[in-house]
Structure 1
C-alpha cells in the first residue's frame, strides 16, 4: 500500500531512540523528510545521518522538551528548514513513574506541555499544509498505562491526559482538515530501553511481564512505528480523535 507520504514533512520529538527513532526511520523509508530532536546531540547527529541517507534530507537539534522556548524554536526552525510541515509526532516522554511532586512535574512538563507547545507552533504550518493538500496530522504517542493502574502514578495519569487533549484537538481542528490521533503502546522491548534495562536488572520480573501478554512477547519499536505512520498518513484521512492501542492484547478492556 502506498501511504502517500512521499515528500511529506514530518517532525518527531524524542526521535533518536526506541519508538521515536523507529517512527522517524519509517517515515523516511516512505519518502518523507524528517526533523528530529532529543537532548543528546550525538544521538541527534547520528539519527540525522541515517535519515539523510534514506530520504536525502534531514534536520535535527538538541532540545530539552521541558524547555518551552527551546522546543518551540525547534519546531519553527524545522518547519522553515523543510519548507512547511505536514505531520507532527509528539513522542518525547519523561518516562518516570511515581507519586512525588518531582515526578508529576517532570511528566507534566515533558509529556503534556511538550505536546501542547509543539502543536501551538506547528498548528499554522499544519493548517497551511492541510489547505494545500487536504490533510495534515498531529500524532501523540501515549501508553496503555493510561488505562490501567494499581496506585497513584504520574506516568499513567499524564498519558491519560494526552488522550483527552488529543480528542479536543481533533474535534476543534477537524474543519481545518488537521487530524489528531494517539497511539498507545503496551510493553515495548529494545536494548537500552525501559524493558531492556529491566531484563538486565530484574530478569524474573521481566519474564513475568512476558507471560502476562497473550502473544508471549513484547512489541518491537518498529511495530509501534508502523501503526503510528499509518495513522498519520493521508491513507487515514477520515480517522481522527482515536486512541489506537497497540499492546498485543495485554490489556483487558474493550475500547468503544
Structure 2
C-alpha cells in the first residue's frame, strides 16, 4: 500500500532504537525524509547513515530532550535542513518506574515536556505544511499503562496526560488539517529494550507478565511503527484526536 509519504519530511524524537527506529525505517521505506534525535551521538550517526542508504535525506542530532531550549533549536534546524516538517513523532520516554518524586519528575520532564517543547518548535512548520498540502501530523507514542492502574505509579498517569493533551491539540488544529493522534502499545520486546532487560534479570516476572498477553507474546517494534506511520500518513487524513491501542488485547476495556 502506498501511504502517500514520498517526499514528506518527518522528525522523530527517540529514533535510534526500538519503536522509534522502526518508525524511522518505515517512513524512509515509504520515501519520506527523516530527522531523528537521541542521547547517544554514535547511535545517531549510525542510524542516519543506514537511513541515507535507503535513498532518502536523513539527518540527526544528539539531543537531551529534557533540555527544552536545545530540543527546540535542533527541531528548528532540522526542519530548515529538510525543507519543512510534515510529520512529528514523539517517541522518547524516561520509562521511570515507581511513585517517588524523582520518578514523577523524570517521566514528566522527558515524556510530557519533551512532547510539549517539540510541538511548540515544530508547529510553525507543521502549520505551513497543513495549509499547503491539506495535511500534517503529530503522533505521540504513549502506553496502555495509561488505562491500567494495578498500583500507584508515575508512568501510567504521565502517559495518560499525553493522550489528554493530544485530544485538545487535535480539536484546536483540526480546521487547518494538522492532525494529532496517539498510539498506546502494550508490551513491546526488542533486544536492549525494557522487557528484554526484565527477561534477562527477572525471568520469572517476565514470564508472569507475558502470560497475561492473550496472543501469547509481546509486540515487535515494527507492529507499533506500522500503526504510528499509518496515522501519520495522508491516508489517515480524517483521523485526529484518536488513541490507537495496539496491545494484543491485554487490556479488557471496551473502547467506544
* TM-score, length-scaled by structure 2: 0.99
**Structure 1 residues 34-62: Cα deviation after superposition (integer angstroms, max 9, x where no partner):** 00000100110111111111133101000
* Aligned position for 1:9: 9
- Give the Cα separation in 1 of the matches to 2:27 and 2:13: 13
User: 5 Å matches for 1:172-191?
Assistant: 172-191=172-191
Contact 2:40 2:62 (8 Å CA) reproduced: yes
Structure 2 counterpart SS, 1:205 = helix
* Aligned position for 1:75: 75
Structure 1 counterpart SS, 2:54 = helix
Q: CA deviation at 1:175?
A: 0.7
Contact 1:112 1:162 (8 Å CA) reproduced: yes
Pairs aligned (count): 256
Runs of 4+ residues over 4 Å off in structure 1: none
* Aligned position for 2:244: 244
**Structure 1 residues 164-223: Cα deviation after superposition (integer angstroms, max 9, x where no partner):** 000000000001110000000000000100000011111111111221111000000000
Contact 1:86 1:126 (8 Å CA) reproduced: yes
* Aligned position for 1:48: 48
Structure 2 counterpart SS, 1:54 = coil
* Aligned position for 2:125: 125
Unaligned runs of 5+ in 1: none
Structure 2 counterpart SS, 1:35 = strand
Moved more, 133-142 or 205-214: 205-214
Contact 1:19 1:225 (8 Å CA) reproduced: yes
Structure 1 counterpart SS, 2:5 = coil
* Aligned position for 1:113: 113
* Aligned position for 1:35: 35
* Aligned position for 2:101: 101
* Aligned position for 1:217: 217
Q: CA deviation at 1:31?
A: 0.4
Contact 1:145 1:156 (8 Å CA) reproduced: yes
- Give the Cα separation in 1 of the matches to 2:56 and 2:96: 36
RMSD (Å) for aligned C-alpha atoms: 0.7
